[in-house]
Structure 1
Amino acid sequence: MEKTTEKIDYKAILVTLNIADKKSKDYIEDIEASMTEFNELALAANVEVLGNMVQNKQSVDVTYFIGKGKVEEIKTYSENMNVNLVIFNHELSGSQIRNLENALDVDVIDRTMLIQEIFANRAITKDGKLQVELAQLKYRLPRLAGIGGKLSRMGGGIGGRGPGEKKLETDKRHINARILEIEKELAEIVKNRDVQRSQRMKSNLPIVALVGYTNAGKSTITNEIIKRNELHDPEKEVFVKDMLFATLDTSLRKAKFTNGNDFLVIDTVGFVSRLPHSLVKAFKSTLEEALFADLVLHILDASDKNYELQRETTEDVLKEIGCADKAKIIVNNKIDLLSGDFVVGSAEVKSINISANNPDDIKRLLDMIEETIIPDIEEKTLLIPYNEGNLINEIHDKYSNVATEYQENGISITLKLTQDDIRKYNEYILI
């Protein structure tokens, strides 16, 4: 499936429906917050926003979603402003897209297609690219008659506007075949990921997964944590940029606690309100890394006025992937951007207020992680016989801050051990 290389500058109107029916799937509780996020999504897709329109209605219009009168208003605005794209802050049916494009004579996409476009442009790994393509194809399939032969107007794809019935059938066969092909490839990737996960579990290294709203600071915190490893390679740092969905692919890095012990840190894809179910499902295998973590860090932007929306959005996705009851720390990031003190909303979950740019705050976070993940550490002295070189190497590989002394009948090693390792090395413990 070829993608056009022609660069198109998109000038768009963003349209949001303020529907009164709270039971409708299109109901948005906080219109202002949703529109702010919607504009940021458009920016992340390199779209120039020329205007925002809100339509207040009791219910959805089956034909045009927002009603014919509002469509005529948008058409007039589009012609005056040279708009070439209209984006809806909702999920549209194929027939609604077709009707809107015919009436407006410009390209029309919905929120899901916009987010999929961002994901398609940002995915780096083979796994990520396949997951996005699968989500796009499955979303497109039931909408073929409406959106023609495009994955989205922005992304190009096979075919064009208004394909005939024969072409639609050809496209359906093509898409179904490609879906099966991708699912087979992803099944192999999942097998490989399971093997890698098994190897990580055997290493007994604690695993910490960072989850949270997109642009809350997960990648920045990940980088600040891994920088404390004396073998840190700057090229291993996670990509950071102040925009939605700067990081899409899950990354795994080795880090160190303040006492020198190793642990693994996983940075996951960020969430967004009303994240298309197709993408939650497509990235479920990636998000499931959090399921196998010993601890989840829920990163929140404390300076964002939509803090509660971000918190609830992430909690909802965590529930969907079965991660709601995992041991967790709420990390309220960016407190340096606040003028006053930040008050944590719930005392039931362990939490910490930090600025990712403050080294002391990162140290406090690391200490809290260690206390939470390994609550019963004890200092012990082991005496390892000289003929047990493999055991000596194993301990040095696993623990960094160890005091070593060579004695007549073996090597004396003093270090802080977990309860599991105290049991494992019990026969060598002196004190």
Structure 2
Amino acid sequence: MSGPKTSQLEIERQMRARMQAARDRAETASVSFRHELQLLLSQFALCTDEDISAQVNAIAAQLESEFDSELSKALDNNDVDALEAACSKLTHLADSLAFDAKQRFAPLLAAEKALRRSADLQTSLKAFSRTMADHDSDDAGLVESLELLKAFNPQSHAESGRTAAAAAEPEEDIQERFVAMLDGVRTAIASPFTLEKDRAVMVGMAQDIVGISGPDAQKAASVLAQYELIAPAVAARAERMQELAARMSVLEAELKGSAPRRPAGFNNLDEAVRYLDNLKHLAQRRREERYIHEAIDTIMRRHGYDVARSVELGAVQGSHTLFSGDAKDTGIHAFMSDSGDMMLEVVGLGAPAPAESGTSITAVTDDNDIAHLFNAQNEFCAVYAEIEEELAAMGIRNAVRYKAAPDVAHCKQIHLASDQSDFSADTQIGLADDRRRRDQVQQHAREMR
């Protein structure tokens, strides 16, 4: 029975589990590598030397590029054994690159520490001002008013506004905390992992800092207390966002151009988790589609259909492939829907269609062509039975939904658009010769009767 066949293809649970376990190892390796790299980079978060910062960023970019390249190659494997081997190697690569980063960052970190003056308020003010200018370069008033902070000296005893508790606090401790606040606010604003709502809070905090007029110790103490209250939660959410971002990077590398564009920032962790879940769903679907497509291609090649062309046909979501082999005037049209439905049908190879009209499938009207395609349908019956068995051997369950018997009503021919056809002029002549020889044989058979 080899009229059109429609099946629901699904990767068996055991095969899917092996593929997922391998990709989980790749994801773990990626998260581990990026986490180690960010820990190292965090040591340079307060660096004010542009040359050191440039070297650090260049090293980080080179190591990330090297890891992402190997990650992409690993995830491109659809052979399960090759996928497992490649993903296992990523774990060793992650450790190797993290060690390399430590070695290369060590002299830069030593140089940066030598340049940095401990608890230097003016240095922190300068870096704070630069970060705010980078964050909101249009707000000249905000940057300008930072000059007011330079008049604030935490060691000055402003008699009005100094509470007894504040007066009793060691002046050195106040300055250290104030410097920590300046550094913490600017780091949070500049970090790519700070959630947008938290970034807005920190920008507001920066404006509060700017709003301190002169040596107003009471206002400074209020801003400091507010910062120390919210900073741990902001940092914790940023750390969680860093982990989610690392997982996003793995899936985006796998999806490549088909990944949705990642938002510039997330307002909260729930938004980030929803985006990650969507990536997981898309990646899982693409993996299964790719595995099934490659399995079909492999099986069709075994049966002599060693030429596969991807064709565009209609507006139905899914993919169309035309398989052909030794027979130059017939092929197999395969359609795979996004939901996993596959349809296989024998088709004749008609004359190319103009590029502007697109590829099309039409009914065959010539009696000789109908008879030829009807015979081809019958011949494909045995092949289709073998295809089902070979799909099962590759871990793909084939639930046949519709199996039509050979019928002249199913005799169709496909006309490839001229911009999709890769037939050469010689092949076109060959098609005509094949048909001419077939007609001669049939004519001779009729004369012999």
- Calculate the TM-score normalised by the size of structure 1: 0.24
As a proportion of its length, which structure holds more helix?
2
Larger Rg: 2
Instruction: Considering Cα pairs closer than 8 Å and 6+ residues apart, tell me whether 1 or 2 has the greater RCO.
Output: 2
